[in-house]
Amino acid sequence: MKTALALLLLAVPLAAQNGGGPASRLAGRVPPAALPAIDSLIAAAVAESLPSEPLVQKALEGSAKGVPTDRLVNGVRRGLLQLREARVIVGRAMPDQPLPEAHIAAVAAAIARGLDPAIVERLLTIAPNESPGPVLHAAADLVAHRFNPDSAADLLVAAHNKGLHGIRLLDVAVAADHELQRAGGRTHAEALARVRALLPNVPSADTPSTVTRRATKGS
C-alpha cells in the first residue's frame, strides 16, 4: 500500500492559485448574479485593511459547490463579519501595534471553528508576535473533543511556557485526545492532567513532513 501511495504521489499545480487580483480570479467562476455583491464585500474588506483572501476563497468554494446565489453571498458576508470580529480581538491582544493580516485571518478561522472569542484573545496574548494559527487550532481541536475550553487553554499556555511552539502545540491536543482514549478510560480532566505532567515531552503525532490519512470508510 505504501509503495502504491509513493508511486501515485501527485503534485498539485499550486502555481496557478492566487494568481491575479480577486476580480480576475472570480470572473467566470462566480455566478454573474452574485458577482456584484461579492465584489462589494471584498472591496469593503480591502478598504478596512482586512485580508480579502478568505472571502475570495469562500466565493470560489460556494460557486464550485453550486450554492444558490443568496446563500453564496450570505456565506461571503458572514466571512466578512468574522474578519471584523477577529480584528477587534487581535487589536485588544496587540494594543498599539499594527495588526498583521495573517493574525486576523487565523483568528477568523478559529471563530469559524467555534472557539470562544475570550479563549482566542487569551491565547493570542501568550505570544503576540508568533503566528497564532497552531495554538488556536490546538484549542479548537481540544474543544471539539469536549475538553473544557478554559482547561484546554490552561494546558496550552503551560505547554507554551515549557517551550513548545508552533505546530508542536498541535501535538499537545493530540496527546490529550490519546490519553482520553486509553484503555480503561480517563476523564477529560485526568487526560489534561496527564499531558500536563508530560510537558514538554509530548510525543510527536506524526512525522514533520507528512500528514498521513487513514483509509476512510463509508461516504
- Alpha-carbon 208 to chain mean position: 18
Q: Which of residues 136-175 bind another protein (CB under 8 A)?
A: 137, 140-141, 144, 165-168, 170
Please provide the size of the chain in residues. Answer: 219
Show Cβ contacts of residue 108 under 8 Å, excluding neighbours closer than 6 positions: 54, 79, 82, 83, 85, 86
In terms of CB distance, is 74 or 148 closer to another protein? 74
- The residue type found at 16 is A
d(CA 94, CA 53): 22
**Is there binding between residue 51 and another protein (CB under 8 A)?**
no
Distance from C-alpha of 50 to C-alpha of 54, rounded to nearest angstrom: 10
* Stretch of 35-43, 83-91, 116-124, 206-214 contacting another protein, by CB under 8 A: 206-214
User: Between 87 and 137, whose beta carbon lies closer to another protein?
Assistant: 137
From the CB of 46, what's the least distance to another protein, in Å?
19
Q: How far apart are the first and last CA of the chain?
A: 21
**Dihedral angle, C-alpha 204, 210, 214, 219, nearest 10 °:** 130
Which set of grid coordinates corresponds to residue 101?
Answer: 493580516
> Segment contacting another protein (CB under 8 A): 37-45, 112-120, 149-157, 178-186?
112-120
Is position 60 an interface residue for another protein (rule: CB under 8 A)?
yes
Q: Decide whether 32 or 216 has the Cβ nearer to another protein.
A: 216
Is 8 one of the binding residues for another protein (CB under 8 A)? yes
Instruction: Give contact residues for another protein (rule: CB under 8 A).
Output: 1, 4-14, 16-18, 25, 57-58, 60-65, 67, 71-72, 74-75, 78-79, 109, 112-114, 133-134, 137, 140-141, 144, 165-168, 170, 204, 206-219
